[in-house]
Amino acid sequence: MFMDFKVDGKTVMIIGGGFESYRKLQNFLDSSAEITVFSNEFSEDIKTLAAQGKVCLSQIYITDVQKFMVHLTIKPDLVLAVTNDYALNVQLVLAAKKLGCIVYCVSDPSLSDFILPAVARVGDVKIAVSTSGKSPVVARMLRQRIERLVTAEDLLEIELQVYLRKVLKNCETDQRVRSKLLNEILNNVDIKQALNEGKLYVAKALSLKLVQNKEATMS
């Protein structure tokens, strides 16, 4: 079962400053979560994100997990242990669990409270792919394949649907009627052709005309 966590305003702590850490924190960048990365060293990609104000960095070499967790100024909502030290990751998530944090452990998925699937992102489209931790490589390959399948026309259709939902809410109170009309519009040959040509403004004009014609026949 996939769930899309709403982490806006939450505190996310990521321990580890390498490539895996960079990959995992991508899942939180679109939110307004407060992301802090703890590590004794950071990759250039993570440093770039910090320079852009997207994450905070805390340089630390953790030798005593209990002492580290106790001295945190703010209890994090989510803790991700993604260092290259298997034992350290396990100790971190076990200590975080005692604090009531939601945890993710890259070393041992069985200790994690959630998974971070490979996410195909194209515009406003997000599609999660998971192999339940059995093969991250295959999940990544499937994600890349899906990203190639989503077209510019698909993205324009999403924009058109957002526009139409606003229009239809102002002229039709019945949800079932709105859904039926929306499907008719999105399956209209001329509108599909306009979207295929990248002409969103034409698709909007044609859609509005169909809505107005429908209103005229119903009045």
Contacts of 90 (CB under 8 A, 6+ apart): 81, 105, 107, 108, 111
Total structural domains within the chain: 3
Say whether both 24 and 68 belong to one domain: yes
> Are 102 and 57 members of one domain?
yes
For residue 196, the one-letter residue type is N
In a shared domain, residues 105 and 18: yes
User: Does residue 204 belong to any structural domain of this protein?
Assistant: yes
2 belongs to a structural domain: no
- 71 and 160 in a single domain? The answer is no
User: What pLDDT score does 2 carry?
Assistant: 58
Position 133 scores a pLDDT of: 67
Number of H helices, E strands in the chain: 9, 7
User: CATH number for the domain including 61?
Assistant: 3.40.50.720
Per-residue pLDDT, 3: 62
pLDDT along the chain (219 residues), means of 10: 76 95 89 94 96 96 92 92 95 94 91 79 73 75 84 89 86 81 89 92 90 72
Do residues 25 and 84 both lie within one domain? Answer: yes
In a domain, 6, yes or no: no
If one counts every other C-beta atom within 10 angstroms of the C-beta of residue 11, the result is 17
Distance between CA 156 and CA 115 in Å, rounded?
31
Residues 207 and 129 both lie in one domain: no
For residue 137, the enclosing domain spans 117-150
How far CA 152 is from CA of 89, 120, 190, 210, in Å, comes to 41, 15, 17, 23
Tell me which DSSP letter residue 54 carries: S
pLDDT at 65: 94
Same domain, 173 and 204: yes
Q: Say which residue the tokens 């990203």 belong to.
A: 147
pTM greater than 0.85: no
How many Å from the N-terminal Cα to the C-terminal Cα in the chain?
A: 45
Q: Does 4 map to a domain?
A: no
Provide the pLDDT for residue 94.
Answer: 95
Question: Are 70 and 143 in the same domain?
Answer: no
pLDDT at res. 43: 96
Q: Are 178 and 190 in contact (CB under 8 A)?
A: no
123 and 206 housed in the same domain: no
Q: How far apart are CA 155 and CA 202, in angstroms?
A: 15
Report, in this order, helix, strand and coil percent for the chain, each rounded to 5.
Answer: 50, 15, 35
Same domain, 89 and 136: no
1 located within any domain: no
- The reply to whether 90 and 72 lie within a common domain is yes
**Domain shared by 180 and 132, yes or no:** no
What is the per-residue pLDDT for 1? 54
Q: What is the pLDDT of residue 216?
A: 67
